[in-house]
Amino acid sequence: MPSTYRAILIFFVTTLISASSLTLAQAPSHPLDALKSQEYWVVYDVLRDSGKMDPDTFYASVLLHEPAKGKVLAWRPGDAVFREAEIILLRKGIAIEALVDIPAHKLEFWKERKDIQAPVLEMEFHALEEVIKKDPRVIEALKKRGITDLTHVECFAGPFGYFALPELEGRRIFYGGCNDTHGEFLGWGRSIEGLNIEIDAVEKKVLKVIDDGPTPVPTASINFEEVESGPREGATPIGLSQPLGPAFKISNGEVNWQSWNFRFRLDPRIGAVINLARFNDGHQLRSVLYEGSLSELFVPYMDPAEGWATRVFIDTGEFYHGGVLKPLRENIDCPTTATYFGTLVPDEHGAPGIRPRVACMFESYSGDPSWRHFEKHELWGSPARTLVLRTAAVIGNYDYVLDWRFERDGSIHVAVGATGIIETKSVKAKDASATGGHGMPGSPDEFGHFVAENTIGVNHDHFFSYRLDVDVDGVNNSFMAGRLVKRALTKPASRKSIWVVEPFIAKTEKDAMIDIHLEKPAMWHFINPNTKGPLGYPTGYELMPGVTAASLLDPEDGPQKVGAFSAHQLWVTPYRQDERFAAGIYPTDSKGADDGLAIWSKANRPIENTDIVAWYTLGFHHAPRAEDWPVMPVMWHEFVLRPFDFFPKNPMLDLPSTP
Amino acid sequence: MPSTYRAILIFFVTTLISASSLTLAQAPSHPLDALKSQEYWVVYDVLRDSGKMDPDTFYASVLLHEPAKGKVLAWRPGDAVFREAEIILLRKGIAIEALVDIPAHKLEFWKERKDIQAPVLEMEFHALEEVIKKDPRVIEALKKRGITDLTHVECFAGPFGYFALPELEGRRIFYGGCNDTHGEFLGWGRSIEGLNIEIDAVEKKVLKVIDDGPTPVPTASINFEEVESGPREGATPIGLSQPLGPAFKISNGEVNWQSWNFRFRLDPRIGAVINLARFNDGHQLRSVLYEGSLSELFVPYMDPAEGWATRVFIDTGEFYHGGVLKPLRENIDCPTTATYFGTLVPDEHGAPGIRPRVACMFESYSGDPSWRHFEKHELWGSPARTLVLRTAAVIGNYDYVLDWRFERDGSIHVAVGATGIIETKSVKAKDASATGGHGMPGSPDEFGHFVAENTIGVNHDHFFSYRLDVDVDGVNNSFMAGRLVKRALTKPASRKSIWVVEPFIAKTEKDAMIDIHLEKPAMWHFINPNTKGPLGYPTGYELMPGVTAASLLDPEDGPQKVGAFSAHQLWVTPYRQDERFAAGIYPTDSKGADDGLAIWSKANRPIENTDIVAWYTLGFHHAPRAEDWPVMPVMWHEFVLRPFDFFPKNPMLDLPSTP
């Protein structure tokens, strides 16, 4: 780095506001704060002192139990902060639900649940790997493959994201396999194919070793930091500069930036949770979003082979032990000007561990205008800038960069950048040249695509459910579809057709289950029928879908029953305090019959002029390409919440004309 | 601006490469260069000396006549540069087509065309405004409305973007109306409604004044620079910093940046034209895109009223006299680090005029990663940066920010940012409170939406046709749809369904007319069947659609026949030198029966393993909202061309890990 550039960078860095202590303050200042360190310890003490714990009982999950919305909205600074934690424990395969009132140091609820499976504990992964690697059948199977040095063999077993087989009933059975990392720094791409292991996660016992016969482990180059001699020449340094520091302020957990006010917490299960997003219209703080967060993530693979058909991940609901968010790295994930935030996650004994730098906040400026008009030799306009709250969820191989982007026009862009490493299958064929192209039945790439020699990137989907508790100008809202409908004209002679907007107010949940069709376009409005703007329209926000996908799976397919939210791009439900996870609280080995968006919605509850919640499905099919290997370029998808008659005019007219 | 910030900015600016002379060099250095100043003068001299010109003959268009692709690809630096100009003249309402060989100073072609209409000349607008304002019937109609001071009344007449009425046959008839700018700095939003004028643009004579009765001109506040007292406080300065200057180089008109090489010209009709985009894979420059540009823009309005039904604009083909591109302003349209480019446009006498700063090029960095993976407590990755070539097309009220964004992963993102001022209709009703909401038949907002008092933003569409002459690794390519098809499974027991990719090679044009359906997803591949990558697949690029729209108009509707490209999101045609404009060369008063994408494609020509051209329709419906007034926030839409098995692996692994 040239010294001039470094000097400037240092200058920028020293002007940063340090706000990394936000989430780690000792006492909660607001009912929606993330659980504090001392609160985790209260939970621990209450459960210990209850006499119900024993050395075989482990913590699978400790989450803030969100208070009912009414209580939060009635709360004022200075009031007592009501705090509850919801806990999932795992004892010898049995899940236990508990609820602790933290200020009262009181165990409010305790229930053993034999009908569900707790999410996976990190300790289970480690323990099961040891068991697998010591099993004589596994050792024999590896030997058949010429692998006798097990030092660098990594084995993994995880649960099904759906109820697949009768033998799972009431048991905690995991399925897994192994990779050979010999010669590599990561084992992805080095699967020991055809070796499938069924294991009892409670008994810590391998039940079955299904060996479909050896397939050599690929040897194609995968160490992504080493495959090129780089760094490539020719790039001069580039950065964002904010000599006077960022323009956002954080006070008592509340972010204030350019008319936007909101809170956020970093939840171990669902990551960043935005709360109480309000926009100052110059006169008052007006409510837009009571809460917004990722709710679930459904990733089914599309290969019917043994060991692959069961690769269906309900990522946030199954694999969040240790926290779904992983650290961000400055200059790679966020610019130099970013401020970072840490969070706490409980370990298997309930003790909070610190996870520094799992979120960053920065103002982004990419050189674009926010509005402009040229006429009469003059140009009017102003440059755009954005406030980004970024986290990264890492679930094994995949990395998801998760953004909440606040814009000065009152819109919120929610973006997902998918990167990381695709899951691959080892095959005997070196490449596609013998079979002439993908998709041919019986060819090695029938269910995926060669991304390296002997390596198939397997087809799969990603479906994110975002839960958006919109409260436009208050709690009671309605969902209105603005349907664009073709109308035939008989006059004037110059035209035969136009389209008009036909508003449709959804009465019940079924009215608002929406699939996107280009030939039947509709705008999705969340309006407050009780608050009219100056032109006589209800104030509202529009949810604008981005590029997305619908699930192609059979509705009766096990995975699809659990990830049923992927059947529609939009759902609207009445607010319920306990309806937070689109695939249910316990997706592991789930039959999809008891909990989740598709189940709740069956009641077809009224949603008009009441407190409603929108659920947006952001999805994409992924048929891999060579360029996705050995690590994927970021692929972004997004959707937008934008004001629609919320303001009486463009709210950006008072922005400065310089960035 | 604080002095420290200013000092840093000045430092950045002085390190910029000045390349603004690019398009204005005296002699062309390449067959695809924009026409040079001296070339316009050769055209002028050749036509003058032909003896065919007279004082009534005006220049409506002078464009580079692109050489056949084969000639360009065979051309080498040092060879003679073949140059032709295609000219449209307008003489007393008659269009004349001409072709001039510039180096030979030779008139190659001259033809009077009575069957088509030339595009509008800027001088016509001025002349017709004078005629309208002097017409006694207009003066009387204005008087009836209380408008007697015509000093600040602006009148406008333009042609139909389609053949609307028999009386247009063989005549140059324009339709128009007036605005009252009294008290304002722009007349948009001040339409004098109900006053519709039919005018003979050749005779310069008002034919009809159709007065549907007065509607008061709205008085709501519209001076967007004055409606707020701003600038809003609280924003600290932000900018892009490149202390060592940008990393792109331009030499002999060729841009070189981070493995990308391409040329561009700024065309008066279609704006930026990208040529010969090639990617250096470390061994050789490999062809991706021979040419990419906007081809046409279709904007039909959705109000059947007199004077509104005929508002259908074929924007680039009708209104490009004077050049479709308008100036960019630094710090609003492009960051401080940008380099600007000018171009030349001919006036009505054929003389080239200079248009400075109509394009900018800059590297963008918004703090995002280009790829990343976290595992084993480590984070690998690199930050993203983008090369942006930006222009802005301004067609009356609308501003379109048009980007070509080159990425280091080999992808090209083509983006359209719509901003500027929506077209509004004056109505007697003050607002929607009497009729309770839009869409009700007979209500004042039946065909639009109140955006201010007495002001309706009228519903309309925008359809952009992008012409993408893909040449992946050579001229002969095929189009392959990778169809994702559900497959029922009988085993294993754990699954009932998956999807597989079924490749479909398009044989003829009809095979490749594609509409987007979420339930029938397909990947759009442009492959070179003659070049296999190392894994046995043909090398290729994928066109990934963004959010887009399909036209809802009746296929038999006049506007839809001309903007027929909007019927499908993708078309693929065989390369033809003369097939460049999706709505035909002459969309004005067109019947849509002779020229344009839908007409050419009727022949259903073979497109397999030959030189093919992709046409992507980027569209959106616009039902306005209050926030779109008095000037719209930028709304971005984009699509992506990305490598798919073009590289053997992720091409970004050698990027530095700092921005």
Q: CA torsion, points B298, B299, B301, B306, in degrees to nearest 10? A: -70
Nearest to B494 among A165, A630, A633 (CB): A165
Query: Mean pLDDT across chain A, nearest whole number?
Result: 93
Contacts of A251 in chain B (CB under 8 A): none
Beta strands per DSSP E along A506-608: 522-532, 538-544, 570-574
Distance from CA of B489 to the nearest CA of A (A): 8
- A315 three-state secondary structure: helix
Q: β-pairing, B285-300 with B312-314?
A: antiparallel
Name the helix (H) or strand (E) containing A639: strand A632-643
Nearest to B367 among A362, A379, A492 (CB): A362
Express the helix, strand and coil content of chain A in percent, nearest 5 each: 15, 40, 45
Q: Residues A532-566: pLDDT tens digits?
A: 999 999 999 999 999 999 999 999 999 999 999 99
Mean pLDDT computed over A170-174 = 94
Q: State the catalytic residue, choosing from A398, A541, A575, A616.
A: A398
Q: What is the pLDDT of residue A443?
A: 93
Mean pLDDT computed over A244-253 = 93
Q: What is the pLDDT of residue B438?
A: 62
Q: Is the CB of B431 less than 8 angstroms away from the CB of A545?
A: no
Q: Residues B264-273: pLDDT tens digits?
A: 999 999 999 9
Nearest Cα neighbor of B148 from B180, B176, B177 is B180
Q: Is the CB of B498 less than 8 angstroms away from the CB of A304?
A: yes
Does residue B26 surpass a pLDDT of 60?
Answer: yes
Mean pLDDT computed over B337-356 = 96
Q: Residues A322-375: pLDDT tens digits?
A: 999 999 999 999 999 999 999 999 999 999 999 999 999 999 999 999 999 999
Does residue B549 surpass a pLDDT of 90?
Answer: yes
Contacts of B393 in chain A (CB under 8 A): none
Nearest to A657 among B332, B375, B417 (CB): B332
Q: Is B315 a catalytic residue?
A: yes
% residues pLDDT > 70 (chain B): 95
Mean pLDDT computed over A160-164 = 91
Q: Is the CB of A335 less than 8 angstroms away from the CB of B433?
A: no
The residue type found at B217 is: V
Tokens of B434: 């009497």
DSSP state letters, A589-610: T--SSSSSHHHHGGG--B-TTE
Does residue A8 surpass a pLDDT of 90?
Answer: no
Q: At what angle do helices A122-134 and A136-144 cross, to 10 degrees?
A: 70
Which residues contact residue B505 at a Cβ distance below 8 angstroms, ignoring those fewer than 6 apart? B478, B479, B480, B608
Q: What is the pLDDT of residue B186?
A: 87
- Residue A202, classified by CB atoms within 10 Å of its CB into exposed (0-12), middle (13-18) or buried (19+), is middle
Contacts of B645 in chain A (CB under 8 A): 625-627
Strands in B195-200's sheet, in edge-to-edge order, are B153-158, B173-180, B195-200, B205-211
Nearest Cα neighbor of A196 from A319, A312, A310 is A310
Nearest-CA residue of chain A relative to B459? Answer: A500
Q: What is the pLDDT of residue A542?
A: 98
Q: What is the pLDDT of residue B404?
A: 98
Hey, of A226, A238, A244, A541, which one would you mutate to test binding to chain B, going by the most B CBs within 10 A of its CB?
A238
Q: What is the pLDDT of residue A15?
A: 35
Q: Is the CB of B436 less than 8 angstroms away from the CB of A381?
A: no
Q: State the catalytic residue, choosing from B33, B267, B303, B315.
A: B315
Q: What is the pLDDT of residue A221?
A: 85
Distance from CA of A524 to the nearest CA of B (A): 12
Q: What is the pLDDT of residue B8?
A: 40
User: Is the CB of residue A216 less than 8 Å from the CB of residue A189?
Assistant: no
Nearest to B489 among A304, A452, A550 (CB): A304
Q: What is the pLDDT of residue A550?
A: 96
Q: How far apart are CA B160 and CA B138, in angstroms?
A: 21
Q: What is the pLDDT of residue A199?
A: 97
Mean pLDDT computed over B206-222 = 93
Tokens of A331: 């200059």
Tokens of B113: 């065309």
The confidence band for A187, taking pLDDT boundaries of 50, 70 and 90, is confident
Q: Is the CB of A557 less than 8 angstroms away from the CB of B303?
A: no
Contacts of A500 in chain B (CB under 8 A): 302, 439, 446-447, 459
Does residue A385 surpass a pLDDT of 70?
Answer: yes
Would the pTM count as exceeding 0.90? yes
Q: Is the CB of B628 less than 8 angstroms away from the CB of A646?
A: no
User: Is the CB of residue B86 less than 8 Å from the CB of residue B350?
Assistant: no
Q: What is the pLDDT of residue B489?
A: 95
The confidence band for B88, taking pLDDT boundaries of 50, 70 and 90, is very high
Q: How far apart are CA B302 and CA B454, in angstroms?
A: 18
Q: Residues B369-418: pLDDT tens digits?
A: 999 999 988 999 999 999 999 999 999 999 999 999 999 999 999 999 99
Q: What is the pLDDT of residue B281?
A: 93
For chains A and B, CB pairs below 8 A equal 578
The confidence band for A186, taking pLDDT boundaries of 50, 70 and 90, is confident
Nearest-CA residue of chain B relative to A429? Answer: B535
Q: Which residue has the higher pLDDT, A571 or B185?
A: A571
Q: Is A399 a catalytic residue?
A: no
Q: Residues B506-529: pLDDT tens digits?
A: 999 999 999 999 999 999 999 999
Q: What is the pLDDT of residue A438?
A: 62
Least confident piece of the model among B22-31, B380-389, B587-596:
B22-31
Q: Residues B416-434: pLDDT tens digits?
A: 999 999 999 999 999 999 8
- B609 three-state secondary structure: coil
% residues pLDDT > 70 (chain A): 95
The confidence band for A488, taking pLDDT boundaries of 50, 70 and 90, is very high
Quote the ipTM score.
0.94
Q: Residues A66-100: pLDDT tens digits?
A: 999 999 999 999 999 999 999 999 999 999 999 99
Q: What is the pLDDT of residue A25?
A: 53
Nearest-CA residue of chain B relative to A523? Answer: B623
Mean pLDDT computed over B435-444 = 79
Hey, of B552, B647, B654, which one would you mutate to test binding to chain A, going by the most A CBs within 10 A of its CB?
B552
